A and B are shown apart, each in its own frame.
Chain A
C-alpha cells in the first residue's frame, strides 16, 4: 500500500507481545494503559457472554419438548432474567467498551484516553459489579423479574428476599461504570485527536463511540432514578410503585424505557461503527457517503430518545400517544436504512477481498435487515398488539442483537485481533465459524417468528402438547446447541492462533486508519511521534501520513504511572452495595469510608511519578 510505505516502519523490538503485555497480576490490577484495560474488558465480557449463552441453552433445553420438567418455573424465571441482563449489561456493552478502549485512542492518534485512571475505575467497577450481580445465584437465587424488572412484580410483596435487591444494586453499580467510561470517551474524542483530525475526518468507529457515549450519559440517569425509587420502595417502605398508596406502576415503565430504548442504540451503534470500518477496508474503497453515515448515526441517537413508549403499546396510553410513538419509530428506520445503502454502495464496484471480517460484516447486514423489518412491523401499534409478549418479539430482538450486534462484534474481533495480539486468526476456522454460526442462528431464531405468530407466549417455562409448537421448538433447540458449538470453534480458533498463528505485520489488511500505522501489538505509548492528519483515510491518501510515527530517534514518551486507587475505589463501592443488600449499616458505612479515602488517595496521587 502506498500509505504504509510513506509511514516509517516500526523499529524492531518495540511493541512485541512480551513488551506490551508482560507483567504479573499486580501489573494488570494497577494498569492504566487503555490497551490492557481493553483486553481485560474483552476477556471478562466474553466470559459473561459464555455464561449468558449457557443460561440460554438451559432455556432452550427446557423448551425442546412440551411439558418438559428439566427446569422448574422458578429457575426458569431466574434464567431468562439473568440471560437478558447478562447479555445486555455484561456481554455486549463491555465487548463494545473493549473496542472503545483499545481502538479509539489509536484511531484518533492519541497515546491514551484523557483520564487513564478513570478508565481503570470503569473496568473494575464493571467486573466487580458483574460478579456481585451473579453472586445472587449463590445466595438465595438470581433476580427473576425479567431484565426490564416491571413494577410491581419487583415489590417486596411479590418478590421477597434479596433477588431483586441484587438486581437493583448490580445495575446501579454497572451504571456508574458506564457513565464514567462514557464521560472519559467524550473528553478523549473531543480533546485528544491528533493535529489535523477534524470531527469530519474521524474514523466511523470513533464517531459511533462518540455518539454512543452521549447516549450513555443521557440515558443512564433515567434508570438510575428508577432503580433508586425501587430501592426506596423495597428498603424504606415508600410507595412510588404501590397503587394502593397512590403510586403509579407506569412510572417505572416510562423511566425504564426512557433509558431502555436509547440502550438499544447503545448496543447497536458501536456495531454500526465496526461495520463502517470493515467494509471500506475489504472493498478497498473509502466509505460511500461518509457524512450521511455520520449524520444518520447522530439522528438515530437523537430519535432514539423519542420512541420509548413503543415498548408500552399494550398498556393503553391512548390513541394519540400510540400514534406519535408509532410515527417516531417508523422515522428511525430512515437513518438506519441510509446506513445500509451506504455500506452496499461502498462494496459496489470495490475490489472485494472476502476475508473472515467481511463475511461477518455481510452476515450482519443480511441478518440486521431481517431484524429491522420485524422492528418496523412492531412500530405499528395495531400490529404490535398482536405480537407483544409472544415469541415473535424474541425472534426480533435476537435478529437485531445476535444476528446484528454479535455478528458485527465478531467481525470486529476478526478485524482487530491481529492489531491487539500481533497474530492472525485462522481464516479457515474463521469461515467455518461464520457459516456454522449463520446457519445455526437462523435455525434457532427464525422458527421463533412463526411460533410467536401462532401464539406461543414468551417468558413461560413450558407449553402444552398438541398446540403445534413442538417441531419448531425442537428446531430452535437443536439450532441453539449448534450455535453454542460454533462459539467453541471460535474459542478454538483463538487458542490455536495465539499459539501458532501467522505473525501479523503492522497493517495486515491494508487499512486506512491510524491504528494500522503502528506495530501489532502497539508499544505501550502507541505513537512515538503523534501523527498529523490531512484526510479521512490517512494511510490511503498520497502523503497522508507525513510524520514518522514510529521514529526510534524520537524521545520515548512519558506515560501515566500505574495506580491501585481505582481498584480500591471499586471495591469500596461493592462493599457499600453489600451493606445495602444485607441492610447492614456498618458495612455500608465501611464501604463509604473506603470510597472517600480512595477518592482522596486518587486525587493526591500524581499522574506520573
Chain B
C-alpha cells in the first residue's frame, strides 16, 4: 500500500484487513463468554443446594424446552439465509429472512415467558430458593440477550422496508448474525447444563 493510499483510504485501511466493527463484536463476544461463564458457574455451584422446594426435577419440562430450543436453532438458520440474501442484494428475501429470524426469536421468548409464569404459578419465585434465584438469573440474562437481538433484527427489518438496507450494509447484517449465533450457542450450553443434566 502506498503512502498516499494509506493516508486517503483512512477508515477503509486496517492493519489486518478485518473490519473494525466485526473485530469489536468478536472481542465483545469474548467478554460475554466470561459473563455467561461466571453465571453458569454460579448456577452449577448452587445445583442441588436448595434447602426448600420446588426443586428443578419437579418443574423442568424438557419436551417443551426442546421445542423452543429447536425454534431458536432454526432462527440461526434464518439468520444465515438473511445474510446470504443481503449479500447478493436480494432484499425481498433479505427482508423475509430477517423478519423470520426475529419472529422465531420472539417465539423462543414467548416460550420463556410461559415457562417463567408456569414456575411462578407452581410456587417458584425469584427468592424462593437458590434454584429459583440462579435459574431465573441465568436464563433471564440469556433471555435479555435474545430480546436485544430481536430489537436489533427488527431495526434492520424496518431499515430494509424503507429501502435503507442493501448489499452495501452486508457487514452490519453479518455482525448482527455473529451476535445472534453467539446467543444461540450459549443457549445450547444452558439447555444441556440446566435441562438435560437435571436427572
A554 at the interface (CB under 8 A from B): yes
Interface with B: A23-31, A190-198, A478-486, which one?
A: A190-198
User: Are B6 and A532 closer than 8 Å at their CB atoms?
Assistant: yes
B190 at the interface (CB under 8 A from A): no
Q: Choose from B3, B20, B31, B126 the contact partner of A220 (Cβ within 8 Å).
A: B31
User: Are B127 and A247 closer than 8 Å at their CB atoms?
Assistant: no
Contact partners of B46 in chain A: CB under 8 A: 240, 246-248
User: Are A190 and B6 closer than 8 Å at their CB atoms?
Assistant: no
| Distance, CA A225 to CA B20, complexed state (A) | 28
Contact partners of B10 in chain A: CB under 8 A: 111, 530, 557-558
Range class of the A interface residue count: 35 or more
A251 to chain B, nearest CB (A): 6
User: Are A218 and B34 closer than 8 Å at their CB atoms?
Assistant: yes
B197 at the interface (CB under 8 A from A): no
Interface with A: B11-19, B53-61, B75-83, B84-92, which one?
A: B11-19
B137 at the interface (CB under 8 A from A): yes
| Distance, CA A190 to CA B18, complexed state (A) | 9
User: Are B42 and A532 closer than 8 Å at their CB atoms?
Assistant: no
User: Are B20 and A191 closer than 8 Å at their CB atoms?
Assistant: yes
| Distance, CA A192 to CA B10, complexed state (A) | 9
Query: How many A-B pairs with Cβ below 8 Å?
Result: 121
Assuming the contacts A183-B31, A238-B133, A239-B133, asked whether A114 and B24 have C-beta atoms less than 8 A apart, the reply is: yes
B49 at the interface (CB under 8 A from A): yes
A115 at the interface (CB under 8 A from B): yes
User: Are A246 and B51 closer than 8 Å at their CB atoms?
Assistant: yes
Q: Choose from A187, A238, A547 the contact partner of B27 (Cβ within 8 Å).
A: A187
A529 to chain B, nearest CB (A): 5
| Distance, CA A197 to CA B14, complexed state (A) | 12
Instruction: Find residues 207-242 in chain A having any chain B CB closer than 8 Å to their own CB.
Output: 217-222, 224-226, 228-229, 232, 236-240
Q: Choose from A218, A245, A248 the contact partner of B51 (Cβ within 8 Å).
A: A245
A347 at the interface (CB under 8 A from B): no
User: Are A529 and B20 closer than 8 Å at their CB atoms?
Assistant: no
Assuming the contacts A237-B127, A238-B126, A239-B130, asked whether A191 and B38 have C-beta atoms less than 8 A apart, the reply is: no
Contact partners of A530 in chain B: CB under 8 A: 3, 6-7, 10
User: Are A228 and B31 closer than 8 Å at their CB atoms?
Assistant: no
Contact partners of A111 in chain B: CB under 8 A: 10
A466 at the interface (CB under 8 A from B): no
User: Are B45 and A248 closer than 8 Å at their CB atoms?
Assistant: yes
A555 at the interface (CB under 8 A from B): yes
B-side residues, CB < 8 A to A, are 1, 3-4, 6-8, 10, 14-16, 18, 20, 23-24, 27-28, 30-32, 34-35, 37-39, 42, 45-46, 49-51, 126-127, 129-130, 132-134, 137, 155
A239-B129, A532-B6 provided; 10 other pairs, C-beta below 8 A? A114-B20, A186-B23, A190-B23, A191-B18, A217-B27, A221-B34, A229-B137, A240-B134, A255-B38, A547-B3
